[in-house]
Amino acid sequence: MIKTMADSLLLLQLEKEIALLLLDKLEDLEITPERAAQIARFILHSLPDGINDEQISAIIPKLDDTFTELSGIVHQHLVCYEQKNKEITLDNVRELMQQKNFQQASELMKKYLEKKI
């Protein structure tokens, strides 16, 4: 299967961040080579080639359940995802309000806020 740059950008970014994290932790003697290998195997298993961004986004929150070393990366991606979701929702609400669909705009904001809580 041929992957385009757009298809694999999130996967490549995530793999790069994790690789750099593991290298830094190994260099600073914060983890053992065995632990780094366990994390690497877990990541390769959890994020196979061909996975799409939607699947990756569903997996990211679970990456630090087993390996707490990944919590910083997980947090960073969750904040980014939340910000993008917020912007998309606000754009949709503005559009609905311009179309005088106030009830739909209100329902969309309610759904967004329920997800945040």
User: What is the total residue count of the chain?
Assistant: 117
Tokens of 59: 């997996």
- Note down the domain range covering 101: 5-116
**Would you place residue 113 in the very low, low, confident or very high pLDDT band (cuts 50, 70, 90)?**
confident
pLDDT in tens, 6-53: 457 899 999 999 999 999 999 999 999 999 999 999 999 999 988 998
Residue 83 tokens read as: 């910000």
Q: What is the DSSP letter of 4?
A: P
Neighbouring CB atoms inside 10 A of 50's CB total 10
Total of domains in the chain: 1
Q: What is the pLDDT of residue 117?
A: 63
Q: Cα–chain-centroid distance for residue 11?
A: 10
